[in-house]
Structure 1
Amino acid sequence: MKKQTVEASLVAYVTDKEKDLYRLAYNYVKNQEDAFDVVQESIQKALASVDSLRNPNAMKSWFNKILVRTAIDFLKKERKIKAMDCQTIEFLSKGKKDIYHDIDLHETLEELSYQYKTIIVLRFFEDLKIKEIAEVTGDKVNTFKTRLRRGLMFMRIHLT
C-alpha cells in the first residue's frame, strides 16, 4: 500500500476515534492538557513511522501501542520533574479537591505496575479484545491472560 494511502487511513482513524484516544491517554496521565499532549505526540510519532506499519488492518492496535508507550514515557518523565517549590505547594493547596465516584478503584489502579495497569485499562475501560491488547502490549495471548489474572487478583485483595 502506498505511503500516502496509509497516512490518509491514519488521519481518518485518528479523526474518527479522537475521543477514545483522548480517554485512553487521560486514563494514564489524569490531566486534560497532558492527555491532549500525549495524543498529539502519539500522532506525530505515528506519522513519522507510518512506514513501519506492515498491515493497515492492524492500525488500531499499532496506534494504541504508540499511544500507551507515549503515555508511559510521559509519566516516567513527569516523575523526574516532580520537584516543587513552596509557591507551587501553596498554590495547589488553595484549589478545589477532585471528587471521584470510584475513588477506591482509581487508587488501586494507580498502585498497579504499568504492565498490569495497561492491560486492565485496555480491557475494561477501552473494551479491547484479548488479541488486540496482546498486539498493543507486544505480549503473547497467554502472557496477557496471566497478567490480567494477576492484576485483577491484586485489585480484589486491595478492594476488599
Structure 2
Amino acid sequence: MCYVLRKKPRQEEMIAEYVIQNKERFYRLAYSYVQNPDDALDIVQDSIHKAITSKTLKDEKAIKSWFYRIVVNTSLDFLRRKKKVTVVDDSTIQLHMSGHEDHYTDIDLHQSLNELVPEYRSVVILRYFEDLKLEEVAEILDLNVNTVKTRLYKALKILRVQMDSEEAN
C-alpha cells in the first residue's frame, strides 16, 4: 500500500534545503549524545523523516529551533531505548593501554558529560558544542531563558567537580 504525504511542497523543499545546509551540525549534535557514528546517522535520518511527516512547523522562521528540538528529542528517545549500553571500541582500549595522558582530558570530559542528567547535558551540548545563544537554547528546549541559565550553571558546577576529582585520581 502506498501512502502519499500531503504537505505543502514549498515547506517540504524548505525543510530539505535547511537540513542539507546544516547536515554536519545535526550529525554532530546527534553524535554528541550517542557517541557512535552509525547511531548518529540513524538519529539524523529519523529526525528528517519526523520533520517531513510532521505538521507541527507553524512558522517557517522558527525552522532552526524546531528541527534542533526534533534532533534532541530523537537523540534522547534513542538513549532511553538503548538504556546506556556502552561498547568500547579498539581505539579506546589502545588509548588506555598506551598511556597517552594528553588525551585523558577529552575522554574524562565525554564521560562526565554522559553522566549528567539529560536536562543538563542538553543545555551544555547546545550552548557550547553547537555554539547557540542562551535564547536559542531556551527556544529549542521550550524553556525559560532563566531556567536554561540555572541548568547551565548547575551542569558546569557538576562537570567542574567531576573533572577535578578525575584529576586528583
Aligned pair partner of 1:145 in 137, 140, 149: 149
- Counterpart for residue 61 of structure 1: 65
- Counterpart for residue 51 of structure 2: 46
Identity of aligned residues (%): 44
Residues 1:97 and 2:91 aligned together: yes
- Counterpart for residue 87 of structure 1: none
Mapped partners of 1:104, 1:33: distance in 2: 23
The one-character-per-residue Cα deviations of 1:98-146 (angstroms, maximum 9, x if unpaired) are: 2493111111111100000000000000001111111111111111111
Q: Which runs of 5+ in 1 are unaligned?
A: 83-91
Aligned to 1:44, what secondary structure does the other structure show?
helix
Residues 1:5 and 2:10 aligned together: yes
Mapped partners of 1:145, 1:70: distance in 2: 23
- Quick one: which amino acid aligns to residue 57 of structure 2? L
TM-score, normalisation: structure 1: 0.86
- Counterpart for residue 113 of structure 1: 117
Residues 1:16 and 2:21 aligned together: yes
- Quick one: which amino acid aligns to residue 147 of structure 1? R
Deviation for aligned residue 1:69: 0.4
Deviation for aligned residue 1:97: 3.5
Residues 1:37 and 2:31 aligned together: no
Mapped partners of 1:17, 1:97: distance in 2: 29
Runs of 4+ that moved beyond 4 A: none
Root mean square deviation of aligned Cα: 1.8
Mapped partners of 2:134, 2:70: distance in 1: 18
Aligned to 1:52, what secondary structure does the other structure show?
coil
Residues 1:159 and 2:163 aligned together: yes
Q: Which runs of 5+ in 2 are unaligned?
A: 1-6, 96-101, 165-169
TM-score, normalisation: structure 2: 0.82
